């Protein structure tokens, strides 16, 4: 009985110890606080701007000509070279005048014959008038004499015109500049045979350059005569963008490309003809979400932006960016919303949940 009581007491003590151990509380897990990050804050903004339409074109002179001659013959002298400045009426080249001089002599000979025929016809007509007055010639004879006289008058007039034409052609033996300008290309050498219609010298005006822009039919409605358009010259980046005035708009589109040609007067003449350039048109207004470019971090092929959440701690967002805008801003196509606060001044993304301290 005594042994039974002792065993019961030991069991009671053991149960009490187990109960005490089971009811005891476990030690609390240690929570590690992330260090704060110091950065400037910027608000993600929605801006409205006009999309710029870029046009491509080439520089052309306001006036150009392919100078040729109306006479045939060998070229005896070329008095200009590419790049030379010439004035209106200045001799560009000389053609052997033998052929044209022969044409003049031939025309003058024909004129002399016509004048002699006119003198004879006039004398004969006067004689028949006198005979008709004395009733010694019939009416028909007088009419015939009058017709011969009128024909002789016409022959003289025709011969005089031929002489004038021959003299004019003979003057073409000296090929002169039709306007003041610059020689761009020489297409003939001494000894070459000149022929009517064959280009000999290409001449361009010295001032009044134009840019011929290629405009899509969807954008031609944005342009009107007299409108000012921003333009730039690829060969002169130092000039930046300047403004030109629309001088001419083609009334028909190219059926192959469905584009129009628009000529814009340039304020500068430093660009050579044929040089490339661009024009800029304001397009339709569009809305964009923007942040400073300094807020975007490139890591592993991703573009990341760190924002401050509602709890004042960092959150990292993967974004898709678009165009780079003015004032070092960048367009955000996805990943951010208007009004969110992005961190700038960081060296890169930071752990999410870091407290944010605003830099002063």
Over residues 263-299, the pLDDT tens digits come to 998 876 667 788 899 999 988 888 899 999 999 999 9
> Tokens 């070279």 appear where?
81
Asked whether residue 214 falls in the same domain as residue 188, the answer is no
Structure tokens at 296: 């975007």
Position 2 in a domain:
no
Q: How confident is the model at residue 162 (pLDDT cuts 50, 70, 90)?
A: confident
CA 246 to chain centre: 12
For the segment 121-131, the average pLDDT, to the nearest whole number, is 86
Q: Which domain holds residue 329?
A: 37-49+287-358
Asked whether residue 77 falls in the same domain as residue 190, the answer is yes
Residue 20 has pLDDT above 60, yes or no: no
Q: How many domains does the chain have?
A: 4
- C-alpha 228/C-alpha 241 separation (Å) is 12
Around Cβ 275, how many Cβ atoms within 10 Å? 17
> Domain ends where: 284, 314, 333?
284
Q: How confident is the model at residue 32 (pLDDT cuts 50, 70, 90)?
A: low
What per-residue confidence (pLDDT) applies to 40? 92
Check: pTM over 0.85? Answer yes or no.
no
Instruction: Name, in order, each residue with C-beta under 8 angstroms of 96's C-beta and a sequence gap of 6 or more.
Output: 73, 74, 75, 76, 173
Asked whether residue 78 falls in the same domain as residue 189, the answer is yes
Among candidate residues 274, 215, 280, 216, the one with its CA nearest the CA of residue 248? 215
Asked whether residue 310 falls in the same domain as residue 273, the answer is no
- C-alpha 33/C-alpha 313 separation (Å) is 12
**Phi, psi torsion values for 250, nearest 5 degrees:** -65, 140
Q: How confident is the model at residue 333 (pLDDT cuts 50, 70, 90)?
A: very high
Element (H, E) at 264: strand 259-265
Summarised one tens digit per residue, pLDDT across range 225-248 is 999 999 998 888 888 888 889 999
CB 201 within 8 A of CB 227: no
- C-alpha 271/C-alpha 278 separation (Å) is 13
Structure tokens at 223: 């342009």
What per-residue confidence (pLDDT) applies to 102? 67
What per-residue confidence (pLDDT) applies to 292? 94
Position 103 in a domain:
yes
Asked whether residue 182 falls in the same domain as residue 165, the answer is no
CA 55 to chain centre: 6
> Domain ends where: 204, 222, 246?
204
- C-alpha 270/C-alpha 280 separation (Å) is 20
Asked whether residue 211 falls in the same domain as residue 275, the answer is yes
Q: How confident is the model at residue 5 (pLDDT cuts 50, 70, 90)?
A: very low
Mean pLDDT taken over the chain: 83
CATH no. for residue 255?
Answer: 2.40.30.170
């Amino acid at each position: 009985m005594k042994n039974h009581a002792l065993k019961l007491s030991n069991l009671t003590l053991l149960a009490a110890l187990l109960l005490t151990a089971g009811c005891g509380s476990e030690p609390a897990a240690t929570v590690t606080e992330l260090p704060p990050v110091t950065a400037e804050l910027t608000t993600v903004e929605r801006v409205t701007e006009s999309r710029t339409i870029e046009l491509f074109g080439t520089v052309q002179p306001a006036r150009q000509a392919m100078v040729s001659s109306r006479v045939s013959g060998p070229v005896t002298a070329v008095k200009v070279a590419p790049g030379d400045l010439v004035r209106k009426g200045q001799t560009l080249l000389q053609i052997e005048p033998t052929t044209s001089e022969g044409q003049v002599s031939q025309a003058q000979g024909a004129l002399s014959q016509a004048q002699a025929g006119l003198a004879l016809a006039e004398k004969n007509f006067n004689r028949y008038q006198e005979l008709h007055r004395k009733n010694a010639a019939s009416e028909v004879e007088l009419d015939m004499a009058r017709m011969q006289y009128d024909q002789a008058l016409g022959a003289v007039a025709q011969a005089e015109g031929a002489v004038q034409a021959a003299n004019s052609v003979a003057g073409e033996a000296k090929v002169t500049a039709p306007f003041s300008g610059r020689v761009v290309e020489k297409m003939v050498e001494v000894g070459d045979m000149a022929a009517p219609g064959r280009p000999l010298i290409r001449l361009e005006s010295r001032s009044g350059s134009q840019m011929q822009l290629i405009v899509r039919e969807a954008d031609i409605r944005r342009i009107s005569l007299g409108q000012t358009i921003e333009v730039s010259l690829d060969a002169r980046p130092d000039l930046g963008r300047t403004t030109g005035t629309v001088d001419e708009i083609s009334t028909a589109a190219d059926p192959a490309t469905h584009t129009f040609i628009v000529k814009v007067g340039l304020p500068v003449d430093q660009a050579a003809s044929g040089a490339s350039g661009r024009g800029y048109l304001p397009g339709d207004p569009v809305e964009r979400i923007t942040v400073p470019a300094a807020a975007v971090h490139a890591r592993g092929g991703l573009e990341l932006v760190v924002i401050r959440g509602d709890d004042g701690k960092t959150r990292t967002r993967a974004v898709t960016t678009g165009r780079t805008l003015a004032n070092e801003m960048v367009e955000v196509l996805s990943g951010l919303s208007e009004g969110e606060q992005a961190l700038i001044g960081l060296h890169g993304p930071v752990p999410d949940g870091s407290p944010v301290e605003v830099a002063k």
